[in-house]
Chains A and B, each alone.
Chain A
Protein backbone atom coordinates (compact mmCIF):
# COMPACT_ATOMS: atom_id res chain seq x y z
CA UNK A 1 0.00 0.00 0.00
CA UNK A 2 1.38 3.39 -1.01
CA UNK A 3 1.84 5.77 1.93
CA UNK A 4 2.33 9.49 2.06
CA UNK A 5 4.05 11.79 4.56
CA UNK A 6 2.93 15.29 3.62
CA UNK A 7 1.97 18.70 4.97
CA UNK A 8 -1.74 19.26 4.45
CA UNK A 9 -3.55 22.60 4.43
CA UNK A 10 -6.43 23.13 6.82
CA UNK A 11 -9.63 23.83 4.87
CA UNK A 12 -11.86 24.22 7.92
CA UNK A 13 -12.68 22.93 11.36
CA UNK A 14 -16.38 22.20 11.81
CA UNK A 15 -17.41 22.01 15.48
CA UNK A 16 -20.16 19.47 16.13
CA UNK A 17 -20.63 20.04 19.87
CA UNK A 18 -18.59 21.48 22.79
CA UNK A 19 -15.67 19.13 22.25
CA UNK A 20 -16.08 17.27 18.96
CA UNK A 21 -15.12 18.57 15.56
CA UNK A 22 -14.41 17.54 12.00
CA UNK A 23 -11.02 18.61 10.66
CA UNK A 24 -11.00 18.98 6.86
CA UNK A 25 -7.62 19.03 5.13
CA UNK A 26 -6.31 19.38 1.60
CA UNK A 27 -3.49 17.17 0.39
CA UNK A 28 -0.76 18.64 -1.85
CA UNK A 29 -0.52 15.31 -3.68
CA UNK A 30 -2.94 12.73 -4.99
CA UNK A 31 -4.52 10.86 -2.08
CA UNK A 32 -3.67 7.14 -2.11
CA UNK A 33 -6.52 4.65 -1.91
CA UNK A 34 -8.12 4.68 1.55
CA UNK A 35 -10.04 1.72 2.96
CA UNK A 36 -12.55 1.70 5.83
CA UNK A 37 -10.60 1.26 9.08
CA UNK A 38 -7.39 2.90 7.83
CA UNK A 39 -5.99 5.68 9.97
CA UNK A 40 -3.56 8.58 9.81
CA UNK A 41 -0.91 9.84 12.22
CA UNK A 42 -1.23 13.61 12.60
CA UNK A 43 1.60 15.75 13.96
CA UNK A 44 0.34 18.41 16.33
CA UNK A 45 2.13 21.59 15.24
CA UNK A 46 4.35 23.56 17.62
CA UNK A 47 3.10 22.15 20.88
CA UNK A 48 5.36 21.64 23.86
CA UNK A 49 4.45 18.41 25.62
CA UNK A 50 2.77 16.85 22.57
CA UNK A 51 5.81 14.96 21.41
CA UNK A 52 4.28 12.11 19.45
CA UNK A 53 1.86 12.14 16.56
CA UNK A 54 -1.79 11.33 17.24
CA UNK A 55 -3.58 8.52 15.41
CA UNK A 56 -7.07 9.13 13.97
CA UNK A 57 -9.38 7.01 11.85
CA UNK A 58 -10.01 8.52 8.45
CA UNK A 59 -13.56 9.89 8.40
CA UNK A 60 -13.98 10.64 4.71
CA UNK A 61 -12.01 11.29 1.57
CA UNK A 62 -12.64 13.09 -1.70
CA UNK A 63 -10.01 11.92 -4.19
CA UNK A 64 -10.97 14.42 -6.88
CA UNK A 65 -10.59 17.46 -4.60
CA UNK A 66 -7.71 15.87 -2.65
CA UNK A 67 -9.65 16.32 0.58
CA UNK A 68 -9.41 14.16 3.68
CA UNK A 69 -11.28 14.63 6.94
CA UNK A 70 -11.14 13.44 10.53
CA UNK A 71 -13.63 13.29 13.37
CA UNK A 72 -11.83 14.32 16.55
CA UNK A 73 -12.87 14.70 20.16
CA UNK A 74 -10.82 17.17 22.22
CA UNK A 75 -9.76 15.14 25.24
CA UNK A 76 -6.12 16.16 25.75
CA UNK A 77 -3.72 18.92 24.77
CA UNK A 78 -3.02 17.36 21.35
CA UNK A 79 -6.63 16.98 20.28
CA UNK A 80 -7.42 20.41 21.73
CA UNK A 81 -4.65 22.05 19.74
CA UNK A 82 -5.75 20.40 16.50
CA UNK A 83 -9.23 21.86 17.05
CA UNK A 84 -7.75 25.36 17.17
CA UNK A 85 -6.14 25.13 13.72
CA UNK A 86 -7.22 27.90 11.36
CA UNK A 87 -7.88 27.62 7.62
CA UNK A 88 -4.65 27.90 5.65
CA UNK A 89 -2.45 26.44 8.41
CA UNK A 90 -0.32 23.37 7.65
CA UNK A 91 -0.37 20.07 9.47
CA UNK A 92 1.74 16.98 8.73
CA UNK A 93 0.08 13.62 8.10
CA UNK A 94 1.21 10.04 7.49
CA UNK A 95 -1.35 7.71 5.89
CA UNK A 96 -2.96 5.37 5.07
CA UNK A 97 -1.92 3.19 8.02
CA UNK A 98 -3.24 -0.07 9.40
CA UNK A 99 -5.51 -2.74 7.95
CA UNK A 100 -9.18 -2.49 7.04
CA UNK A 101 -12.60 -3.86 7.87
CA UNK A 102 -13.22 -6.87 5.65
CA UNK A 103 -16.35 -7.32 3.59
CA UNK A 104 -16.88 -10.99 2.81
CA UNK A 105 -18.24 -12.13 -0.56
CA UNK A 106 -21.95 -12.73 -0.57
CA UNK A 107 -22.67 -10.61 2.50
CA UNK A 108 -26.27 -9.39 2.48
CA UNK A 109 -26.96 -7.70 5.81
CA UNK A 110 -24.45 -5.96 8.05
CA UNK A 111 -24.73 -4.26 11.41
CA UNK A 112 -22.41 -1.43 12.43
CA UNK A 113 -22.23 -0.66 16.16
CA UNK A 114 -20.39 2.34 17.55
CA UNK A 115 -20.15 5.02 20.14
CA UNK A 116 -18.03 8.07 20.90
CA UNK A 117 -15.15 8.72 18.49
CA UNK A 118 -15.54 5.11 17.41
CA UNK A 119 -17.99 6.21 14.76
CA UNK A 120 -15.19 7.77 12.68
CA UNK A 121 -14.55 4.84 10.29
CA UNK A 122 -18.25 4.25 9.60
CA UNK A 123 -18.74 6.70 6.72
CA UNK A 124 -16.15 4.94 4.55
CA UNK A 125 -17.43 1.55 5.69
CA UNK A 126 -21.08 2.47 5.05
CA UNK A 127 -20.18 3.85 1.64
CA UNK A 128 -18.44 0.66 0.55
CA UNK A 129 -21.18 -1.59 1.94
CA UNK A 130 -23.78 0.41 0.01
CA UNK A 131 -21.72 0.23 -3.21
CA UNK A 132 -21.71 -3.54 -2.83
CA UNK A 133 -25.46 -3.62 -2.35
CA UNK A 134 -25.28 -4.73 1.28
CA UNK A 135 -28.16 -3.73 3.51
CA UNK A 136 -26.67 -1.90 6.49
CA UNK A 137 -27.98 -0.87 9.89
CA UNK A 138 -26.08 1.63 12.04
CA UNK A 139 -26.55 1.32 15.80
CA UNK A 140 -25.08 4.38 17.50
CA UNK A 141 -24.92 4.82 21.27
CA UNK A 142 -24.19 7.79 23.51
CA UNK A 143 -24.79 9.21 26.95
CA UNK A 144 -27.34 11.76 25.74
CA UNK A 145 -28.78 12.93 22.41
CA UNK A 146 -25.91 15.46 22.23
CA UNK A 147 -23.45 12.58 21.75
CA UNK A 148 -25.29 11.17 18.75
CA UNK A 149 -23.41 12.73 15.84
CA UNK A 150 -23.02 12.28 12.10
CA UNK A 151 -26.21 10.22 11.84
CA UNK A 152 -27.34 12.37 8.89
CA UNK A 153 -24.25 11.10 7.04
CA UNK A 154 -24.83 7.48 8.02
CA UNK A 155 -28.46 7.64 6.90
CA UNK A 156 -27.20 7.99 3.30
CA UNK A 157 -25.88 4.44 3.59
CA UNK A 158 -28.38 2.61 5.77
CA UNK A 159 -30.91 2.55 8.57
CA UNK A 160 -30.14 4.31 11.86
CA UNK A 161 -30.85 2.97 15.34
CA UNK A 162 -29.91 4.89 18.47
CA UNK A 163 -29.52 4.24 22.18
CA UNK A 164 -28.85 6.85 24.86
CA UNK A 165 -28.14 6.22 28.52
CA UNK A 166 -30.60 8.92 29.59
CA UNK A 167 -33.24 7.99 27.05
CA UNK A 168 -33.16 11.45 25.41
CA UNK A 169 -32.94 9.83 21.97
CA UNK A 170 -33.74 6.36 20.64
CA UNK A 171 -33.99 3.46 23.06
CA UNK A 172 -32.81 3.99 26.64
CA UNK A 173 -29.68 2.06 27.69
CA UNK A 174 -26.43 0.84 26.14
CA UNK A 175 -26.07 -0.32 22.54
CA UNK A 176 -25.99 -3.91 23.76
CA UNK A 177 -29.44 -3.54 25.35
CA UNK A 178 -31.01 -2.44 22.05
CA UNK A 179 -34.06 -4.49 21.09
CA UNK A 180 -32.52 -5.69 17.82
CA UNK A 181 -30.24 -7.99 19.81
CA UNK A 182 -33.25 -9.57 21.52
CA UNK A 183 -35.10 -10.49 18.36
CA UNK A 184 -35.32 -14.18 17.66
CA UNK A 185 -34.27 -13.64 14.07
CA UNK A 186 -31.00 -11.70 14.33
CA UNK A 187 -30.86 -10.83 10.63
CA UNK A 188 -27.20 -9.76 10.38
CA UNK A 189 -24.43 -12.00 9.09
CA UNK A 190 -21.58 -9.66 10.02
CA UNK A 191 -21.08 -7.03 12.71
CA UNK A 192 -18.57 -4.18 12.67
CA UNK A 193 -17.79 -2.29 15.84
CA UNK A 194 -15.65 0.60 17.01
CA UNK A 195 -15.80 2.60 20.21
CA UNK A 196 -14.80 2.35 23.87
CA UNK A 197 -13.15 -0.98 24.78
CA UNK A 198 -15.92 -1.96 27.20
CA UNK A 199 -18.55 -1.41 24.50
CA UNK A 200 -16.64 -3.39 21.88
CA UNK A 201 -16.07 -6.28 24.30
CA UNK A 202 -19.78 -6.38 25.18
CA UNK A 203 -20.81 -6.22 21.53
CA UNK A 204 -18.24 -8.85 20.53
CA UNK A 205 -19.39 -11.18 23.28
CA UNK A 206 -23.08 -10.78 22.44
CA UNK A 207 -22.59 -11.22 18.71
CA UNK A 208 -20.21 -14.17 18.75
CA UNK A 209 -22.64 -15.97 21.09
CA UNK A 210 -25.11 -15.73 18.24
CA UNK A 211 -22.54 -17.33 15.96
CA UNK A 212 -22.04 -14.13 13.99
CA UNK A 213 -18.62 -12.76 13.02
CA UNK A 214 -17.64 -9.49 14.66
CA UNK A 215 -14.78 -7.20 13.68
CA UNK A 216 -13.59 -4.52 16.10
CA UNK A 217 -11.25 -1.61 15.48
CA UNK A 218 -8.94 -1.08 18.47
CA UNK A 219 -7.61 2.19 19.75
CA UNK A 220 -4.50 1.38 21.79
CA UNK A 221 -1.95 4.08 22.58
CA UNK A 222 0.68 4.24 19.88
CA UNK A 223 4.08 5.84 19.60
CA UNK A 224 4.75 5.42 15.86
CA UNK A 225 1.65 4.06 14.12
CA UNK A 226 3.59 2.10 11.49
CA UNK A 227 4.77 -1.01 13.24
CA UNK A 228 8.25 -0.26 14.55
CA UNK A 229 7.91 0.64 18.24
CA UNK A 230 5.83 -2.35 19.43
CA UNK A 231 4.07 -0.19 22.02
CA UNK A 232 0.42 -0.63 20.98
CA UNK A 233 0.20 -4.42 21.14
CA UNK A 234 -2.92 -6.39 22.04
CA UNK A 235 -2.90 -10.04 23.14
CA UNK A 236 -4.27 -12.44 20.53
CA UNK A 237 -4.49 -16.21 20.15
CA UNK A 238 -1.17 -15.95 18.29
CA UNK A 239 0.57 -13.77 20.88
CA UNK A 240 0.95 -10.00 21.05
CA UNK A 241 0.07 -8.23 17.81
CA UNK A 242 0.56 -4.60 16.83
CA UNK A 243 -2.73 -2.70 16.75
CA UNK A 244 -1.20 -0.22 14.29
CA UNK A 245 0.13 -2.82 11.87
CA UNK A 246 -1.67 -6.16 12.08
CA UNK A 247 -4.72 -4.08 13.17
CA UNK A 248 -6.44 -1.86 14.08
CA UNK A 249 -9.25 -4.12 12.86
CA UNK A 250 -9.38 -7.61 14.37
CA UNK A 251 -11.92 -10.42 14.33
CA UNK A 252 -12.94 -10.44 18.01
CA UNK A 253 -12.52 -14.21 18.29
CA UNK A 254 -8.82 -13.71 17.42
CA UNK A 255 -8.40 -11.35 20.36
CA UNK A 256 -7.72 -12.22 23.96
CA UNK A 257 -9.55 -9.30 25.50
CA UNK A 258 -7.84 -8.05 28.64
CA UNK A 259 -10.03 -7.36 31.63
Chain B
Protein backbone atom coordinates (compact mmCIF):
# COMPACT_ATOMS: atom_id res chain seq x y z
CA UNK B 1 0.00 0.00 0.00
CA UNK B 2 1.30 3.43 -0.91
CA UNK B 3 1.78 6.21 1.59
CA UNK B 4 -1.28 8.43 1.64
CA UNK B 5 -0.26 11.05 4.17
CA UNK B 6 0.46 14.56 2.92
CA UNK B 7 1.41 17.88 4.42
CA UNK B 8 -0.28 21.24 4.06
CA UNK B 9 2.17 23.79 5.42
CA UNK B 10 3.32 22.08 8.66
CA UNK B 11 0.08 20.21 9.20
CA UNK B 12 0.19 16.50 8.40
CA UNK B 13 -2.97 14.81 7.09
CA UNK B 14 -3.32 11.02 7.34
CA UNK B 15 -4.66 11.06 3.79
CA UNK B 16 -5.43 13.80 1.27
CA UNK B 17 -9.20 13.32 1.19
CA UNK B 18 -11.17 15.91 3.11
CA UNK B 19 -14.77 17.07 2.87
CA UNK B 20 -15.75 20.58 1.83
CA UNK B 21 -17.36 23.14 4.08
CA UNK B 22 -21.14 23.28 3.73
CA UNK B 23 -21.42 19.76 2.35
CA UNK B 24 -20.92 17.72 5.50
CA UNK B 25 -22.50 19.70 8.33
CA UNK B 26 -20.27 19.41 11.39
CA UNK B 27 -19.81 15.71 10.74
CA UNK B 28 -22.30 14.64 13.37
CA UNK B 29 -25.07 13.71 10.94
CA UNK B 30 -22.61 11.60 8.93
CA UNK B 31 -21.56 9.28 11.74
CA UNK B 32 -24.60 7.16 10.87
CA UNK B 33 -23.02 6.44 7.50
CA UNK B 34 -19.22 6.46 7.83
CA UNK B 35 -16.34 6.35 10.28
CA UNK B 36 -15.13 9.95 10.43
CA UNK B 37 -11.75 8.79 11.74
CA UNK B 38 -10.88 7.57 8.26
CA UNK B 39 -11.08 11.01 6.66
CA UNK B 40 -8.08 13.23 6.09
CA UNK B 41 -10.03 16.15 7.47
CA UNK B 42 -13.41 17.79 7.83
CA UNK B 43 -13.91 21.40 6.77
CA UNK B 44 -16.95 22.11 8.90
CA UNK B 45 -19.94 24.26 7.97
CA UNK B 46 -19.15 27.97 7.68
CA UNK B 47 -19.11 29.90 10.96
CA UNK B 48 -19.97 33.52 11.64
CA UNK B 49 -19.78 35.68 14.73
CA UNK B 50 -23.55 35.64 15.30
CA UNK B 51 -26.44 33.27 14.54
CA UNK B 52 -27.55 33.41 10.91
CA UNK B 53 -30.81 31.99 9.61
CA UNK B 54 -29.57 32.00 6.02
CA UNK B 55 -31.61 32.86 2.95
CA UNK B 56 -35.26 32.07 2.30
CA UNK B 57 -36.37 28.79 0.76
CA UNK B 58 -36.01 27.83 -2.11
CA UNK B 59 -32.25 27.65 -1.72
CA UNK B 60 -31.44 24.93 -4.19
CA UNK B 61 -31.86 24.28 -7.89
CA UNK B 62 -30.75 21.14 -9.65
CA UNK B 63 -28.91 21.89 -12.89
CA UNK B 64 -27.21 19.83 -15.61
CA UNK B 65 -24.54 17.78 -13.82
CA UNK B 66 -24.70 19.98 -10.79
CA UNK B 67 -26.71 22.21 -8.52
CA UNK B 68 -27.07 25.80 -7.41
CA UNK B 69 -27.36 26.70 -3.76
CA UNK B 70 -28.03 29.91 -1.92
CA UNK B 71 -28.04 28.66 1.67
CA UNK B 72 -26.42 31.88 2.88
CA UNK B 73 -24.25 30.59 5.74
CA UNK B 74 -27.00 29.38 8.06
CA UNK B 75 -25.27 28.58 11.35
CA UNK B 76 -25.75 29.25 15.04
CA UNK B 77 -22.62 31.35 15.46
CA UNK B 78 -19.12 30.71 16.78
CA UNK B 79 -20.04 30.62 20.49
CA UNK B 80 -22.69 27.96 19.93
CA UNK B 81 -20.14 25.95 17.93
CA UNK B 82 -17.55 26.12 20.70
CA UNK B 83 -20.01 25.24 23.42
CA UNK B 84 -22.27 22.65 21.81
CA UNK B 85 -20.63 21.19 18.71
CA UNK B 86 -16.87 21.27 19.23
CA UNK B 87 -17.00 18.99 22.33
CA UNK B 88 -18.75 16.30 20.27
CA UNK B 89 -16.34 16.31 17.35
CA UNK B 90 -12.97 17.32 18.79
CA UNK B 91 -11.79 13.81 19.60
CA UNK B 92 -12.19 12.26 16.19
CA UNK B 93 -8.92 11.13 14.68
CA UNK B 94 -9.19 13.53 11.78
CA UNK B 95 -8.47 17.23 11.37
CA UNK B 96 -11.41 19.48 12.19
CA UNK B 97 -10.89 22.64 10.18
CA UNK B 98 -13.15 25.62 10.81
CA UNK B 99 -14.48 27.69 7.92
CA UNK B 100 -14.49 31.38 8.91
CA UNK B 101 -16.87 33.97 7.50
CA UNK B 102 -17.66 37.59 8.13
CA UNK B 103 -19.41 40.70 6.91
CA UNK B 104 -16.52 42.89 8.04
CA UNK B 105 -12.83 42.39 8.77
CA UNK B 106 -13.66 42.81 12.46
CA UNK B 107 -16.05 39.83 12.22
CA UNK B 108 -13.35 37.66 10.67
CA UNK B 109 -10.91 38.67 13.39
CA UNK B 110 -13.40 38.02 16.20
CA UNK B 111 -14.27 34.53 14.96
CA UNK B 112 -10.62 33.68 14.32
CA UNK B 113 -9.49 34.79 17.78
CA UNK B 114 -11.97 32.37 19.34
CA UNK B 115 -10.86 29.54 17.08
CA UNK B 116 -7.21 30.19 17.86
CA UNK B 117 -7.92 28.98 21.40
CA UNK B 118 -9.29 25.58 20.35
CA UNK B 119 -6.63 22.87 20.69
CA UNK B 120 -8.32 20.42 18.36
CA UNK B 121 -8.83 22.84 15.49
CA UNK B 122 -5.38 22.89 13.88
CA UNK B 123 -6.29 25.14 10.95
CA UNK B 124 -8.88 27.55 9.66
CA UNK B 125 -10.19 28.10 6.18
CA UNK B 126 -10.80 31.77 5.61
CA UNK B 127 -13.84 31.98 3.38
CA UNK B 128 -13.59 35.11 1.26
CA UNK B 129 -15.60 33.54 -1.51
CA UNK B 130 -19.17 32.83 -0.37
CA UNK B 131 -21.42 34.14 -3.16
CA UNK B 132 -24.65 33.94 -1.14
CA UNK B 133 -24.36 36.72 1.41
CA UNK B 134 -25.20 40.37 0.87
CA UNK B 135 -22.27 41.73 2.85
CA UNK B 136 -18.71 40.48 3.05
CA UNK B 137 -18.12 36.95 1.79
CA UNK B 138 -17.16 36.95 -1.85
CA UNK B 139 -16.78 40.73 -1.91
CA UNK B 140 -13.51 40.23 -0.02
CA UNK B 141 -12.35 37.59 -2.45
CA UNK B 142 -12.83 39.30 -5.78
CA UNK B 143 -10.37 42.14 -5.42
CA UNK B 144 -6.71 41.80 -4.47
CA UNK B 145 -6.56 44.72 -2.01
CA UNK B 146 -9.51 43.51 0.07
CA UNK B 147 -8.31 39.87 -0.03
CA UNK B 148 -4.92 41.07 1.21
CA UNK B 149 -6.50 43.22 3.92
CA UNK B 150 -8.61 40.43 5.42
CA UNK B 151 -5.87 37.78 5.13
CA UNK B 152 -3.33 40.09 6.72
CA UNK B 153 -5.70 40.99 9.58
CA UNK B 154 -6.53 37.37 10.34
CA UNK B 155 -2.88 36.29 10.02
CA UNK B 156 -2.00 38.67 12.83
CA UNK B 157 -4.36 36.94 15.27
CA UNK B 158 -3.98 33.32 14.14
CA UNK B 159 -1.00 31.16 15.07
CA UNK B 160 -1.87 27.93 13.29
CA UNK B 161 -2.35 26.88 9.67
CA UNK B 162 -4.22 29.53 7.69
CA UNK B 163 -5.92 28.37 4.51
CA UNK B 164 -7.65 30.96 2.33
CA UNK B 165 -10.58 29.75 0.21
CA UNK B 166 -10.61 31.47 -3.15
CA UNK B 167 -13.48 32.49 -5.37
CA UNK B 168 -13.51 31.44 -9.01
CA UNK B 169 -15.55 34.54 -9.84
CA UNK B 170 -12.45 36.54 -10.71
CA UNK B 171 -10.54 37.46 -13.85
CA UNK B 172 -7.18 36.17 -12.69
CA UNK B 173 -7.18 33.49 -9.99
CA UNK B 174 -3.36 33.27 -9.94
CA UNK B 175 -3.13 36.95 -8.99
CA UNK B 176 -5.56 36.40 -6.12
CA UNK B 177 -3.58 33.40 -4.88
CA UNK B 178 -0.31 35.36 -5.01
CA UNK B 179 -1.95 38.23 -3.17
CA UNK B 180 -3.08 36.08 -0.21
CA UNK B 181 0.22 34.20 -0.21
CA UNK B 182 1.95 37.54 0.20
CA UNK B 183 -0.43 38.45 3.02
CA UNK B 184 0.54 35.37 5.03
CA UNK B 185 -1.70 32.52 3.89
CA UNK B 186 -0.17 29.07 4.50
CA UNK B 187 -2.31 27.46 1.83
CA UNK B 188 -5.11 28.22 -0.59
CA UNK B 189 -8.21 26.13 -1.24
CA UNK B 190 -10.15 26.42 -4.48
CA UNK B 191 -12.62 26.66 -5.99
CA UNK B 192 -15.67 27.89 -4.15
CA UNK B 193 -18.88 27.85 -6.19
CA UNK B 194 -19.32 29.71 -9.46
CA UNK B 195 -22.01 32.36 -9.43
CA UNK B 196 -24.97 31.22 -11.51
CA UNK B 197 -28.73 31.28 -11.81
CA UNK B 198 -31.69 29.11 -12.76
CA UNK B 199 -35.01 30.17 -14.22
CA UNK B 200 -38.41 28.49 -14.21
CA UNK B 201 -39.66 29.31 -17.71
CA UNK B 202 -43.25 28.21 -17.04
CA UNK B 203 -43.56 30.59 -14.11
CA UNK B 204 -41.19 33.20 -15.61
CA UNK B 205 -39.53 33.34 -12.21
CA UNK B 206 -36.10 32.61 -10.74
CA UNK B 207 -35.84 29.22 -9.03
CA UNK B 208 -33.86 30.56 -6.06
CA UNK B 209 -35.25 33.07 -3.58
CA UNK B 210 -32.00 35.01 -4.02
CA UNK B 211 -32.18 34.84 -7.86
CA UNK B 212 -28.48 33.92 -8.08
CA UNK B 213 -26.57 31.19 -6.28
CA UNK B 214 -23.41 29.13 -6.28
CA UNK B 215 -22.94 26.38 -8.87
CA UNK B 216 -21.26 23.15 -7.77
CA UNK B 217 -20.94 19.57 -8.94
CA UNK B 218 -19.24 17.92 -11.94
CA UNK B 219 -20.40 20.77 -14.19
CA UNK B 220 -17.65 22.97 -12.70
CA UNK B 221 -14.80 20.44 -12.63
CA UNK B 222 -13.02 21.59 -15.81
CA UNK B 223 -13.00 25.18 -14.52
CA UNK B 224 -11.73 24.04 -11.14
CA UNK B 225 -8.92 21.96 -12.65
CA UNK B 226 -7.82 24.85 -14.81
CA UNK B 227 -7.73 27.21 -11.82
CA UNK B 228 -5.87 24.74 -9.59
CA UNK B 229 -3.27 24.33 -12.33
CA UNK B 230 -2.85 28.09 -12.77
CA UNK B 231 -2.56 28.67 -9.03
CA UNK B 232 -0.17 25.74 -8.54
CA UNK B 233 2.21 27.30 -11.03
CA UNK B 234 1.90 30.76 -9.49
CA UNK B 235 2.44 30.15 -5.75
CA UNK B 236 4.77 28.23 -3.45
CA UNK B 237 2.19 27.40 -0.77
CA UNK B 238 0.19 24.14 -1.04
CA UNK B 239 -3.07 24.10 -2.94
CA UNK B 240 -6.18 22.26 -1.74
CA UNK B 241 -8.31 21.48 -4.76
CA UNK B 242 -12.04 21.02 -5.10
CA UNK B 243 -14.85 21.42 -7.59
CA UNK B 244 -17.02 18.57 -8.83
CA UNK B 245 -14.98 15.66 -7.48
CA UNK B 246 -17.29 12.63 -7.73
CA UNK B 247 -14.82 9.72 -7.69
CA UNK B 248 -11.18 8.73 -7.24
CA UNK B 249 -10.27 9.49 -10.86
CA UNK B 250 -11.48 13.06 -10.41
CA UNK B 251 -9.37 13.30 -7.26
CA UNK B 252 -6.26 12.01 -9.09
CA UNK B 253 -6.80 14.69 -11.75
CA UNK B 254 -6.74 17.36 -9.05
CA UNK B 255 -3.45 15.98 -7.65
CA UNK B 256 -1.93 16.01 -11.12
CA UNK B 257 -3.05 19.61 -11.60
CA UNK B 258 -1.22 20.56 -8.39
CA UNK B 259 -3.46 19.86 -5.40
CA UNK B 260 -1.78 18.61 -2.24
CA UNK B 261 -5.13 17.60 -0.81
CA UNK B 262 -8.68 17.57 -2.12
CA UNK B 263 -12.10 18.42 -0.78
CA UNK B 264 -15.13 16.34 -1.70
CA UNK B 265 -18.21 18.55 -1.77
CA UNK B 266 -21.48 18.10 -3.60
CA UNK B 267 -20.82 14.36 -4.06
CA UNK B 268 -21.52 13.96 -0.33
CA UNK B 269 -25.17 14.80 -1.10
CA UNK B 270 -25.53 11.80 -3.38
CA UNK B 271 -23.43 9.21 -1.61
CA UNK B 272 -22.68 9.79 2.08
CA UNK B 273 -19.80 7.29 1.88
CA UNK B 274 -18.20 8.70 -1.28
CA UNK B 275 -15.20 10.22 0.52
CA UNK B 276 -14.12 6.83 1.86
CA UNK B 277 -14.63 5.21 -1.53
CA UNK B 278 -12.36 7.90 -3.01
CA UNK B 279 -9.61 7.03 -0.49
CA UNK B 280 -9.82 3.38 -1.53
CA UNK B 281 -9.76 4.36 -5.20
CA UNK B 282 -6.69 6.58 -4.78
CA UNK B 283 -4.89 3.66 -3.15
CA UNK B 284 -5.76 1.38 -6.04
CA UNK B 285 -4.54 3.95 -8.56
CA UNK B 286 -1.22 4.40 -6.75
CA UNK B 287 -0.69 0.63 -6.63
CA UNK B 288 -1.67 0.18 -10.25
CA UNK B 289 0.78 2.88 -11.36
CA UNK B 290 3.54 1.87 -8.92
CA UNK B 291 3.61 5.08 -6.94
CA UNK B 292 5.02 4.82 -3.40
CA UNK B 293 3.19 7.86 -2.13
CA UNK B 294 0.43 10.20 -3.17
CA UNK B 295 2.83 13.15 -2.85
CA UNK B 296 4.53 12.02 -6.05
CA UNK B 297 1.34 12.82 -7.93
CA UNK B 298 1.12 16.45 -6.86
CA UNK B 299 1.56 18.59 -9.96
CA UNK B 300 2.84 15.56 -11.86
CA UNK B 301 0.89 16.43 -14.97
CA UNK B 302 3.06 15.67 -18.00
CA UNK B 303 2.85 18.59 -20.40
Which A positions have Cβ atoms within 8 angstroms of B?
1-3, 5, 43, 48-53, 94, 220-224, 226-235, 239-240, 245, 258
Question: What is the minimal beta-carbon distance from B177 to any residue of chain A, in angstroms?
Answer: 28
Q: Is the CB of B272 within 8 A of A226?
A: yes
**B25 x A227 contact (CB < 8 A):** yes
B106 beta carbon closer than 8 Å to chain A: no
- Cross-chain contact of B62 among A2, A52, A245 (Cβ < 8 A): A52
In contact, A239 and B53 (Cβ under 8 angstroms): yes
B23 interface residue (CB < 8 Å to A)? yes
Find chain B residues with CB under 8 A from A233 CB.
Answer: 54, 57, 59, 74
Interface residues on B, range: 20 to 34
Contact of B57 among A51, A52, A220 (CB under 8 A): A220
The verdict on A226 contacting B59 (CB below 8 Å), with A49-B64, A53-B270, A233-B54 known, is no
A222 to B60, CA, bound (A): 8
- Say yes or no: A52 contacts B270, CB within 8 Å: yes
Chain A, Cβ-Cβ closest to B216:
A223
Is B57's CB under 8 angstroms from A234's CB?
A: yes
Known A227-B25, A229-B60, A231-B69: A5·B74 in contact at CB below 8 Å:
no
A240 touches B74 (CB 8 A): yes
16 additional contacts, CB 8 Å, given A49-B64, A232-B60, A233-B74? A5-B33, A5-B271, A48-B65, A51-B67, A52-B270, A53-B269, A220-B57, A222-B60, A223-B269, A226-B30, A228-B25, A228-B269, A231-B59, A233-B59, A234-B57, A240-B54
Within 8 Å of chain A (Cβ to Cβ): is B184?
no
Please indicate which of the listed interface residues B25, B51, B54, B60 has the most CB atoms of chain A within 10 Å of its own CB: B60
In the bound complex, how far is the Cα of B266 from the Cα of A43, in angstroms? Answer: 15
In the complex formed, the residue of B with least CB distance to A227 is B29
Task: Point out residues on B near A: beta carbons under 8 Å.
Answer: 22-25, 29-30, 32-33, 45, 51, 53-54, 56-60, 62-67, 69, 71, 74, 217, 266, 268-273
Question: Measured between C-beta atoms, what is the minimum distance from A216 to chain B in Å?
Answer: 15
Q: Which chain B residues lie closer than 8 Å to A3 at the CB level?
A: 32-33
Q: Assuming A233-B59, A240-B74, is B268 touching A228 (CB within 8 A)?
A: yes
The answer for the CA separation of A51 and B23 in the assembled complex, in Å, is 16
Q: Which residues of A contact B69 (CB under 8 A)?
A: 223, 229, 231
Instruction: Pick the residue among B25, B62, B74, B272 that contacts A51 (CB under 8 A).
Output: B62
CB-CB nearest in chain A for B64: A49
Contacts of A245 in B (CB 8 A): 29
Residues A94 and B60 in contact, CB atoms below 8 Å apart: no
Please indicate which of the listed interface residues A3, A226, A228 has the most CB atoms of chain B within 10 Å of its own CB: A228
Measured between alpha carbons, how far is A47 from B74 in the docked complex, in Å? 31
Query: Taking the nearest CB of chain B, how far is it from the CB of A221, in angstroms?
Result: 6
A93–chain B nearest beta-carbon distance, Å: 12
Given A229-B60, A231-B71, A240-B74, do A224 and B54 touch, yes or no (CB 8 Å)?
no
Residues of A with C-beta under 8 A to B33:
3, 5, 226
Measured between beta carbons, the chain B residues less than 8 angstroms from A221 are 58, 60
CB pairs A–B below 8 angstroms (15 shown): A1-B32, A5-B272, A52-B270, A221-B60, A223-B62, A223-B67, A224-B270, A227-B29, A228-B30, A229-B60, A229-B69, A233-B57, A233-B59, A234-B57, A240-B54
A222 to B71, CA, bound (A): 12
Please name the residue on chain A nearest to B218 by beta carbon: A51
